[in-house]
Structure 1
Amino acid sequence: MRITLLRLLLAALLLAGSVPAIAAAQTVPPPAPLPGDGPEDAALKKLFHDSDEASLRRNPVNGIFRGDLRYAAHLGNYLTDAYYDAEKKADEDDLAALKRIDRAKLTHVDQIAYDVFENQTDVVLRGYAPDILRLQKLRPLDHFYGFQTFYPDFASGQGAAPFKTLADYENNLTRNREYAQVLDRAIGLFREGEKANIVQPKLVVRNMIEQFDNLINQGVEGSVFYAPVKKFPDTIPAADQARLRTAYAAQIRDVLIPAHKRMRDFLANEYLAHARDSVGLSAMPGGAKLYSYLIEANTTLPLKAEDVHNLGLREVARIRAEMEAQKDKVGFKGTLADFFTFLRTDKQFQPTSAAQLRDGYEAIGKRVDQRVREQFSLIPKTPLEIRPVPAYKEKTEAGGSYNPGTPDGSRPGIFYYNTYDLPSRYMWEMETLYLHEAVPGHHFQISIAQENTALPAFMRFGGNTAYAEGWGLYAESLWHDLGMETDPYQRMGGLNDEMLRAMRLVVDTGIHAKGWTRDQSIRYMLDNSPMAKIDATAEVERYIAIPGQALAYKIGQLTISGAKAKARAALGDKFDPRAFHAQVLDTGALTMPVLEQKIDAWVKAGGR
C-alpha cells in the first residue's frame, strides 16, 4: 500500500521527496477538556494544537488532505533550505516545550500521547543531522515517492484537492505553478548531488523518465491537469468556466509540460550518466549510516540490519512450510516451485476483464461486512468506495492501495485495485488484498483514528509506517475469524502476501546492507512465492527507491500479533478480540514500544 502519514509529511518530504496521501478533516479546533484533565493536560493539548496549526501553515498540502483550505492557495516551499530550517526549528521548539510538561501529572491517555509525540519528534529530528539530511535532499525525487507520483492525481479533480468553488479552481492554478517550481528546484538539488557523488541508481532514474514521458504524452486536453475543467459544478458561471478552460490549457501548454520536459531531458541527457549502477545504499558514501537511521525511522525500533535479515529468513522458512501444506491440500503433484508456476500461469486464476476484478472485490466486501462486527466494536462512519487505479500511473502502482476519506463523509475512503497487465492480477490474491487495504485494514485503522475528535491532530491524522502497515498485515491474519480464505487457493494468496512481507525483511536488508543486486533480489522473491515477475520487479525497484520502508510491515505485524498472544495468554477466557482491537485502534497510530506498553496496561487492568 502507498500510504504516507500526514503528521510525517516533514519526514516524507525531507527523507524521500514525497507527499502524503492520507487522512482528512476540516479545521481542527483545540480539544475540549476531558473529565480528569488537569493543568498539565491542558498544557499538553495546547502544545499539540499549536504545533499542528503551525505545521499546517508551513505545509498547506497537509491541510488540503484534511479538508482544511485556509492555506490552499499555495503548495508550499518544499525542497528549499528555508523549508528544512523551519521544520527543524519547529520540532526543536516542540520537544523543548514538551519537556517542560510534567508527564507524571497527565492522564493515562495523555501520557500515551506524550510518549508518541516525544518519540516521533526525536526520530524526525535525528533525520536533520547534516550528513543524513544531505544524503536525502540531494536525491529529491524517485519513482515511488516523487512529487510527480502524487501531485498530478492530487490536482486532477479526482484526488484530495477540491473543485467546488471558483476559489478552488484559482487556487489550483497557483499550486500548479508552484509544483513546476518544485521540479526546477529538484533539478538544482540533483546537480548538487552529481558533484558530491550522491545520486540515485540508474534504474530509479529510468523509471522517473518513463513517468515524465507519460505525463508529457498526455498533451493538453488529455492531461490529467486539464481534467478539472472538463466538468464544472453548476455554481461556476459559464463565463468563468470558459475563462478557466483557457487558463488551464495555457498553463499546461506553457508551464507544466515545459517543466516536465525540463526534468525529463535533464534526467535523460545529464543525470542518467552520473547515476549509480549499484542499487543499495551501502554503495553510496554514508549510505550505511543512513540505512541504519531509516530502519528505526520506519519500524520505530532500534533494530540492526543483520538481525532483521535473519528474522526474515526464519519467517520465510515458516511460511514455506505452510505453503507446502496448502499444495498438498489441493492434491498438486510436484514441487513447491512447480506449484508457484501453476499459480502464476494457469488461466483459471487470471481475470479476463477489469469488470471481473471490480465485481469480485465488491462481493468480497459484502462478505467481510457480514462478519466484521464479530471482531470489532469500533466501526468507522466514513464510507468506502472501490475504484481502479488511474490509467496514467497504473504501471508503477501496487496491486492495491488505499486513499483515506474525510471524517464528515464528504470524501469517501477509496480502495484502489490495479488492472494493469490483467493476467498478472491473480484472483487468488483478492481476498487478502481487500483485508489489508480496505476492511478491516487501512480503512478501519485510518478512519477510526481521524473520526476520534478527542485525539490531538497528530494522533488523528499522523502516524508511522510500522503501525499503519503492521495493522494492514495483521488485518490479513484475521482471515479465519472473518470467514475468508476458505478456498486453499485464496489461502495461498494470504500466505503469498505474508511471504511478501517476510521476504521484504530479507531483500531490503540484502540490497541496502549486503550488496544484493536487483536481479538477485527478484530471483529470491520468485523462488519463494508465486507472485508474478512483474510484481516482484516492481517490489524490488520500490525497495531500491525507498530503503527501509518495506521493513515496517512485518515488524509491525509481529509486534501487534505478539501483544495479542501475550494478552490472550494472560486474560484467558476474559480475552475479547473486539476489546483488544479497540485498544489497538482507538488512540491512532502508536510507535511499537508505546503500543506494547498500552496493551500491557490494559491486560493489567483485566482487559477492560
Structure 2
Amino acid sequence: MKKLLTICLTVALVFVSCKEDVKKDIITTKNSDFTAMLANYSEGKLKLNPIEATFIGDGRFDAAFPNYLSDDFRKDWHDFYSSYASQLKEFKDADLTESEQMSKGVMEWDCEMALAQSSFKNDLYMPINQMWSVNLVMTQWATGTSAQPFKTVKNHEDWLKRLEHYNVWLETAEKRMKEGVAEGYVLPKSLIKKVIPQFEALTKVNTSAEGITDLSEHLFFSPVMTLPDSFSSEEKERLTEAYSKLILDKLIPSFKSMAYYLKSDYLDAGLESSGISDIPNGKAYYDHAIKFYTTTNMTADEIHELGLKEVARILAEMEKVKEQVGFEGDLKAFFNAVRSNKALMPYTTPEEVIANFNTIHNKMKPQLNELFANKPKAAFIVKQTEKFREASASAEYNPGSADGTRPGVFYVPIIDASAYNVFSDEALFLHEAIPGHHYQISLTIENEDLPEFRKSLWYSAYGEGWALYTESLGKELGLYTDPYQYFGMLGMEMHRAIRLVVDTGIHSKGWSREKAIQYSLDNEAESEASITSEIERYMANPGQALSYKIGQLKIRELRAKAEEQLGDAFDIREFHTQVLETGCIPLALLENKINNWITTTK
C-alpha cells in the first residue's frame, strides 16, 4: 500500500511537473513573440522617423528624410500604429513578466497618442514655426557639429541625399501651408514674424565683383569647410561641387520661395489672436495636447487653478529671500533689481559663461554619489547655442549617441555675454545637464534591460518633470549657498508654475500674447525679451509647457510618500534608481511602479 501510494504520488508530481513545464513553454513562447514584436516596433518606428534614428546615433537611415506632409506618409503612420495597437491585445498581462507588462503599458500609450495626433490637421497645415519644427533640426545639423555625422565620404553622401528629400519636404510645406490658410489653419502673426528672418538668412550668398558666387559663409555649405584631410582631392572636389549645386539650384530657391510666402500672403492671413482654440477643432486639439504632454486626464481648468496656487506658494518663498538679502521694496521691484543687477552680469565673453557652468559641475561632483547609485557612461559638454537660432532659443540639452561617440550637449544661448545674468545658472545646470536631462536620457539609452523602442521615447511629463525635480536637489548637492542662486531656483520653479497659468490662459481662456507676457513679468524675474520668447514658444506648441510642473509635482509627491511610509528604510539613492531605471514612462505607470517598490521594501 505504501509502495502504491509512493508510485501514485510520483505519477501525480510528474503530471503536475509536466503541466508546469508545458505552461512555462507556452509563456516562454509568448514572451519570445512579445520580445520580437517590441523589436519590430522599434525598428518600424526608426524607419518611419529616421530623424530620431540619427539623434540616437543609428546611422542606417542617415540618408532618409520622409515627406512627413504627404498623404502616403500619413497613411503609413496610421497603419503602423493601428497594426501594433491590435497586436498588443493578443498578449495578456498574466503571461508577461513585470518588465514586459511595463513595456506593454508604455506601448499602448505610445500607439494611442500617435493615432490621436494623426487625427488632427495641425501638423499637416502648420508644419513650420519659430522654435519646434523639423526645418530647424536640419539647419542645426547643417553646421556639421550636431547629430548628423560628417566623418566619412559616405556621411557626406548620406547628408546630400537627405537634403534632396528635405527640399521636397520644403516644397510640400509651402503647399500645405497654403491649403491650411484656405481652411483656417495658420500661425499667429507674432510667430510668423519670428520665422521670416530664419528663412531669409538662408537665402543670402556672397557674390564678388566679377559675379563669382561664394558659398563659404552659407550655413548649408559648412560641411564643405571642414572636409577631413584624409579625403582625396578628387573626393573633396566632387563633394564640393555636389554641395554647391544642391544649395544653389534647390535649397536656396526653396528658402527664397518660403521666405517670400511667409512675409506676404501667409503673414497677411496670420491670426491676430494667440491661442490654438482659434483654429478649426482647436479646443479638441488642446485637450489632446494636455493629455499627450502631461500623461494625465487633467482638464485645462484644473491645471489653471493648480498653477495659480503654485504661483502663490512660490511667491511666499521669494519674499523670504528678498528679506534675507535686505532688499527694501516690494517683490516686483526686487525682480527688476535682480534683472538689472550688474553684479550678476560678471562676464564679457561667451567662454566665461561656459566656464561658469563647468565650475558648477565640479562643485557638485562630490555629492552626486550621495544621491545617485548609477551614473551615465556618456560624456558631457557645454556649448554655446548656434548664432542662427540663438535669438529664439532657450537653454536645452541634446542627448549623445548610444555608442558614446557623440557626447550629450548642454546648449546655452549667449546673445550678449555682458548682459548674461547668472542668478539662475545653478538651477539651470541641474535641470538641463546633471543630474537632470543628461542623467535621465543617458541612463535610459545605456540601459541594456530596456527594449530599444523605450530607449528613445520622450514623455515630457516624465522627462521634464524629472529635470525640474532635480532643481530642488541643489542644497543636497552643495549648491544654493548664495541666496541669489537659491532665488534663481525659485525663479525657475516659478517660471514652470506660471506656465500652468499662461499656457491654459492662452489656449483655453482667450488670453492674448500681451496678457500672458504681463502676467509673467508681474510674477518672475526673467527679462521681458526672455519672457516674450517663452510665451511665443507656448503659442507654437500648445500644452508642452504644462508637462514640467505636472511631472515635478508627481515625483515630489511619490518621494514624500516613500519617505513617510518607509521611514528609516528610505534610501534616496534607491528611490532615484527606481524613478530612472525604466526610462520615460507615463506618470500613471511611474506611480504604480513606486507604489509597488514601497510595498516590497516595507
When normalised by structure 1's length, the TM-score is 0.91
Deviation at residue 284 of structure 1 after TM alignment? 2.3
The correspondence for 2:56, drawn from 52, 56, 66, is 66
Do the aligned partners of 1:124 and 1:297 also contact (CA within 8 Å) in 2?
no
2-side partners of 1:371 and 1:360: how far apart? 18
Q: What runs of 5+ residues in structure 1 fail to find an aligned partner?
A: 1-35
Q: How many residues align?
A: 570
Counterpart code for 2:322:
K
CA separation in 2, counterparts of 1:57 and 1:529? 43
Q: Residue 570 of structure 1: CA displacement?
A: 0.7
**Residue correspondence of structure 1 range 353-364 to structure 2 within 5 A:** 353-364=349-360
Q: How does 1:543-562 map to 2 (within 5 A)?
A: 543-562=538-557
Corresponding residue of 2:528: 533
Shift of 1:311: 0.2
Decide whether the 8 Å contact of 2:67 with 2:168 is kept in 1: no
* Map of 2:402 onto structure 1: 407
Larger Rg: 1 or 2? 2
Distance 1:424 1:114, change over 3 A: farther
Taking the TM superposition and a 5 Å limit, the aligned residue runs for 1:54-133 are: 54-129=44-119, 133=120
1:225 is displaced (CA, Å) by 1.2
Residue 382 of structure 1 aligns to a residue in which SS? Answer: coil
Report the 3-state secondary structure (helix = DSSP H, G, I; strand = E; otherwise coil) of the residue aligned with 1:225.
helix
> What SS does the corresponding residue of 1:499 show, helix, strand or coil?
helix
Deviation at 1:423, TM superposition (A): 4.9
Q: Which residue of 2 aligns with 1:487?
A: 482
Report the CA distance between 1:336 and its aligned residue: 0.6
- For 1:543 and 1:169, locate their aligned partners in 2 and report how far apart those are by CA, in whole Å: 36
Cα 1:146–1:463 change in 2 (3 A) is closer
The yes-or-no answer on 1:457 pairing with 2:452 is yes
Match of 2:423 in 1: 428
Q: Bigger shift: 101-110 or 304-313?
A: 101-110
Question: Partner residue of 2:11?
Answer: none
2:391 is equivalent to residue 391 of structure 1: no
Q: Secondary structure at the match of 1:428?
A: coil
Quick one: structure 1 residues 526 and 363, their matched pair in 2 at CA, closer, same or farther if it must change by over 3 Å?
same
Letter in 2 for 1:279: S
Quick one: distance in 2 between partners of 1:526 and 1:324? 16
Which stretch of structure 1 is more off in the superposition, 384-393 or 440-449?
A: 384-393
Quick check: 1:440–1:475 contact (8 Å CA) kept in 2? yes
2:514 maps to 1:519 = yes
1:576-587 pair list within 5 angstroms: 576-587=571-582
**1:231 paired residue number:** 226
Aligned equivalent of 1:38: 28
Inter-partner Cα distance in structure 2 for 1:391 and 1:551? 28
Residue in structure 2 matching 1:438, options 433, 436, 449:
433
> Is residue 338 of structure 2 the alignment partner of residue 343 of structure 1?
yes
Distance apart, 1:317 and its partner CA: 0.2
> Are the aligned partners of 1:153 and 1:159 in contact in 2 as well (CA < 8 Å)?
yes
> Distance between the aligned counterparts of 1:202 and 1:493, measured in 2?
32
**Where is the helix percentage greater, Structure 1 or Structure 2?**
2
> Could you tell me how far 1:312 is from its partner in structure 2?
0.2
When normalised by structure 2's length, the TM-score is 0.92
Paired residue type of 2:389 = K
Picking from 146, 154, 161, the partner of 2:141 is: 154
Cα displacement (A) at 1:37:
7.8
Change (3 A) 1:459 1:582: same
Distance in 2, Cα, partners of 1:284 & 1:236? 52
Deviations 1:232-251, CA, capped at 9 Å, x for gaps: 23432121112212221222
Report SS of the residue matched to 1:402.
strand
Determine if contact 2:307/2:498 at 8 Å carries over to the other structure. Answer: yes
Amino acid at match of 2:327: F
Match for residue 188 of structure 1?
Answer: 175
* CA offset digits 1:501-555 (Å, max 9, x no partner): 0000000000001111111111110110111111100000001111100000000
Instruction: Work out the CA distance in 2 between the residues paired with 1:113 and 1:185.
Output: 36
What is the aligned partner in structure 1 of residue 325 from structure 2? 330
The amino acid that maps onto 2:430 is L
Residues in 1 aligned to 2:363 and 2:351: alpha-carbon distance in whole angstroms: 19
Cα drift, residue 51 of structure 1: 1.1
- Percent of aligned positions that are identical: 38
Offset of 1:286 from its aligned partner?
1.5
The correspondence of residues 205-284 of structure 1 with structure 2, limited to 5 A, is 205-217=192-204, 220-284=215-279
Residue aligning to 1:315: 310
Counterpart position of 2:132: 145
Deviation at 1:218, TM superposition (A): 6.1
Question: Any idea what SS the aligned residue of 2:448 has?
Answer: coil
Give the Cα–Cα distance (whole angstroms) in 2 for the partners of residues 102 and 40 of structure 1. Answer: 9
- Name the structure 2 match of 1:173: 160
Return the alpha-carbon distance in structure 2 between the equivalents of residues 269 and 231 of structure 1: 37
Matches of 1:388 and 1:37 in 2, distance apart?
52
Report the secondary structure of 2:424's partner residue.
helix
Give CA deviations for 1:94-125 in whole Å, capped at 9, x if unaligned: 11111101112211111111111112211221
Aligned residue identity for 2:383: R
Aligned equivalent of 1:375, options 361, 365, 371 = 371
Contact preservation (8 Å) 1:280, 1:544: yes
**In 1, distance between residues paired with 2:528 and 2:29?**
58
Aligned pairs for 1:587-606 (under 5 A) are 587-606=582-601
Letter matched to residue 124 of structure 2? K
Any idea what SS the aligned residue of 2:503 has?
helix
Paired residues of 1:157 and 1:228 also in contact (CA < 8 A)? yes
Letter in 1 for 2:186: V
Q: Provide the secondary structure at the position in 1 that maps to 2:162.
A: helix
Alpha-carbon separation, structure 1, partners of 2:219 and 2:190: 25
Distance 1:481 1:455 in 2: 30
> Does the 8 Å contact 2:308/2:501 carry over to 1?
yes
CA contact (8 A) 1:368 1:439 kept: no
Structure 2 CA distance for aligned equivalents of residues 364 and 216 of structure 1 = 40
Q: Residue 209 of structure 2 aligns with which residue?
A: none
How far the C-alpha of 1:135 sits from its partner, in A, is 3.5
